[in-house]
C-alpha cells in the first residue's frame, strides 16, 4: 500500500477458471475461493455492472484493459455497505451477480511481492518463469540463446514500458484508477479491477475518486504512483536475479549489472516511454503538427487555466478538448477565444471573473497563432483531434442510472450505454444529449459518484 507491502488485501471474489485462445478467464462473485479469508466471495449487481461497462468503455477508447464477457444476476441478495439517498454509508442488502472477464493475464505486481515479502524464493522464481513462458514468450523467440537472468531483465523492462504507455493513455482520456495499490497493477500492462475509479469531470489534477487514495493516487500523480509500484517490484526482481545469477555462475559484477539494468527499467525505460507517449497524446489532443518547447508551454499553461482560471465551478475536461477540436480555422474559437471554454464551463461562464476571461483569451490567441503558423489543413487537424478526444466517456452518474435500473429488473439502460460506449469518438445523433455534457447538478458531489469507498 502506497509503495510498501501492507498484508493480503482484497476480498478473494475473483478466481481463474481456465484459459481459452490465449486469454485467461475469471469469474468474480461466484462464491468463496481459497483466497476469500473472512469474506463471502460474492459480488453485487452494482459493482458488476460498473466493471462490465467500464472495461468495455476503456477498450473502445483504445486503452489496454481487461475485457468483460458477461454479468449474470444470481437471484439472491448480498450484504454490502454503500451510500443511501442521503449520502450516508449504510450496510444493506443488494441484488447479487457474477461477472465473467478475460485478459491475456491477471498476474499482478502484488503476487510477486507477496512471495518476496514472505521470503519464499522458490515460489517467486516459479511465478516469474510462468509469466515468462506464458505472457512474455516472445522474449525467448527474440533471444533464444539468452540465459534466464537475461530474459528476466528484458521482462521487467518491458513491464516498465507497458505501464508507462498505460498511464499515458489514462491521462489522455481523463481516467483515474483511484486505488493504485500494487495488487491492482497488472504485469501485462492492462487496466485491472474497476473499483473506486472515475473519469475526470471538473478538471482537478489532484482529484482522486477513492476516499482512501489521497494525493498519492490522484489523477495527475498516477505516473508517479506507477513508478513507485515498479520501483518496489524491482526489489523483488533484484532478489530473484541475484539467485538466478548465482545458479548460472555469473560473477558478482555481472549480477550487479543485471540488477542495475532492472532498476534502469524504472528510472530510464519507464520515464522515457511515458514522456514520449504522453507528449504525443498531448500533441494530438491539441491538433498540432509537432511537439516542441513552445507546444509544451502551451499545454502547461492550458492546464493552469483549467485548474485555477475557470470560474467558481471549473471546467469539464472531456467537453473542453472535444469542443476545441470542433472549431474551425476560419473563425477560431468563435472569434473571441472563449467558445471551447464556454462550452465546457460547469454552470456556464457568465459568472467567471474578468481576469479569468482575459487569461483564456490570451491563451487562445497563442494557440490559434500556433495553429495558423503550422498551416495544417483544417479538416486534417480536426480529424486527428476527434480521434484523440472522446465525445463520450463513462461518467459515474451514467453508471448509476444504469445499475439502479438493472436492480429494478430493467437492463435496457445497461445495453444502451454499452452501445453508446462502443463508438466513443463518433457523433451519435440518437444518443441522450446529456451524455456529451458536463455532469448534471444533482450528481456533483454526490457520495458514490463524485467519490466512493
Catalytic residues: 183
- How far apart (Å, rounded) are the C-alpha atoms in residues 396 and 444? 10
Beta bridge partners, 93, equal 79
Phi, psi for 59 (deg, rounded to 5)? -60, -45
- How far apart (Å, rounded) are the C-alpha atoms in residues 52 and 60? 13
Return all residues near 208 (Cβ < 8 A) that are at least 6 apart: 176, 178, 214, 215, 217, 218, 219, 451
CA angle 308, 313, 315 (to 5 degrees): 65
| Burial bucket for residue 2 (CB in 10 Å: 0-12, 13-18, 19+) | middle
Identify the CA nearest to 263 among candidates 243, 239, 245, 244.
239
Find the radius of gyration of the CA atoms of the chain.
23
Phi, psi for 66 (deg, rounded to 5)? -65, 160
Q: Which three cell numbers stand for residue 189?
A: 500492462
- State CA 237 to chain mean position distance: 25
- How far apart (Å, rounded) are the C-alpha atoms in residues 409 and 407? 5
| Burial bucket for residue 289 (CB in 10 Å: 0-12, 13-18, 19+) | middle
Burial state string for 36-49 with b = 16 or more CB within 10 A and e = fewer than 16: beeebbbbbbbbbb
Q: Is the dihedral of CA 324, 327, 329, 330 positive or negative?
A: negative
- How far apart (Å, rounded) are the C-alpha atoms in residues 419 and 341? 29
- How far apart (Å, rounded) are the C-alpha atoms in residues 155 and 132? 7
- How far apart (Å, rounded) are the C-alpha atoms in residues 188 and 131? 9
Residue at grid coordinates 480555422 = 329
Amino acid at each position: 500500500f502506497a509503495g510498501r507491502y501492507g498484508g493480503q488485501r482484497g476480498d478473494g471474489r475473483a478466481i481463474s477458471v481456465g484459459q481459452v485462445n490465449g486469454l485467461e478467464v475469471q469469474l468474480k462473485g461466484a462464491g468463496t475461493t481459497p483466497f476469500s479469508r473472512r469474506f463471502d466471495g460474492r459480488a453485487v449487481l452494482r459493482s458488476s455492472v460498473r466493471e462490465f461497462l467500464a472495461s468495455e468503455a476503456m477498450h473502445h477508447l483504445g486503452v489496454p484493459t481487461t475485457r468483460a464477457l458477461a454479468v449474470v444476476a444470481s437471484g439472491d441478495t448480498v450484504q454490502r455497505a454503500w451510500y443511501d439517498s442521503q449520502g450516508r454509508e449504510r450496510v444493506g442488502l443488494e441484488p447479487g451477480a457474477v461477472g465473467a472477464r478475460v485478459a491475456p493475464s491477471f498476474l499482478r505486481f502484488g503476487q510477486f511481492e507477496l512471495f518476496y515479502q514472505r521470503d519464499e524464493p522458490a515460489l517467486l522464481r516459479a511465478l516469474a518463469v510462468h509469466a515468462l513462458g506464458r505472457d512474455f514468450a516472445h522474449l525467448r523467440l527474440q533471444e533464444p540463446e539468452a540465459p534466464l537472468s537475461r530474459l528476466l531483465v528484458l521482462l521487467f523492462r518491458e513491464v516498465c514500458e507497458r505501464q508507462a504507455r498505460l498511464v499515458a493513455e489514462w491521462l489522455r482520456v481523463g481516467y483515474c484508477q483511484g486505488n493504485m495499490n500494487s495488487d491492482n497493477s497488472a504485469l501485462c500492462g492492462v487496466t485491472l479491477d474497476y473499483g473506486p475509479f472515475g473519469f475526470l469531470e471538473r478538471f482537478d489534477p489532484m482529484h482522486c475518486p477513492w476516499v482512501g487514495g489521497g494525493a498519492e493516487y490522484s489523477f495527475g500523480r498516477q505516473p508517479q504512483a506507477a513508478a513507485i509500484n515498479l520501483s518496489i517490484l524491482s526489489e523483488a526482481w533484484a532478489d530473484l536475479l541475484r539467485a538466478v545469477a548465482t545458479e548460472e555462475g555469473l560473477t558478482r559484477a555481472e549480477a550487479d549489472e543485471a540488477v542495475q539494468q532492472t532498476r534502469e527499467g524504472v528510472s530510464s525505460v519507464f520515464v522515457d516511454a511515458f514522456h514520449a507517449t504522453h507528449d504525443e497524446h498531448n500533441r494530438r489532443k491539441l491538433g498540432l503538427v509537432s511537439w516542441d518547447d513552445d507546444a509544451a508551454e502551451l499545454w502547461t499553461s492550458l492546464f493552469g487555466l483549467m485548474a485555477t482560471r475557470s470560474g467558481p465551478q471549473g471546467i469539464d475536461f472531456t467537453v473542453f478538448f472535444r469542443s476545441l477540436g470542433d472549431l474551425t480555422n476560419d473563425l477560431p474559437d468563435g472569434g473571441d477565444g472563449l467558445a471551447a471554454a464556454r462550452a465546457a464551463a460547469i454552470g456556464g461562464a457568465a459568472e467567471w471573473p474578468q481576469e479569468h476571461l482575459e487569461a483564456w483569451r490570451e491563451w487562445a490567441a497563442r494557440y490559434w497563432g500556433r495553429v495558423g503558423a503550422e498551416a495544417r489543413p483544417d479538416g486534417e487537424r480536426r480529424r486527428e483531434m476527434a480521434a484523440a478526444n472522446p465525445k463520450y466517456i463513462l461518467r459515474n452518474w451514467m453508471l448509476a442510472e444504469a445499475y439502479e435500473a438493472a436492480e429494478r429488473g430493467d437492463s435496457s439502460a445497461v445495453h444502451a450505454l454499452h452501445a453508446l460506449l462502443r463508438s466513443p469518438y463518433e457523433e451519435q445523433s440518437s444518443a441522450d444529449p446529456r451524455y456529451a455534457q458536463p455532469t448534471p447538478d444533482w450528481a456533483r458531489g454526490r457520495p458514490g459518484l463524485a467519490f466512493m469507498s
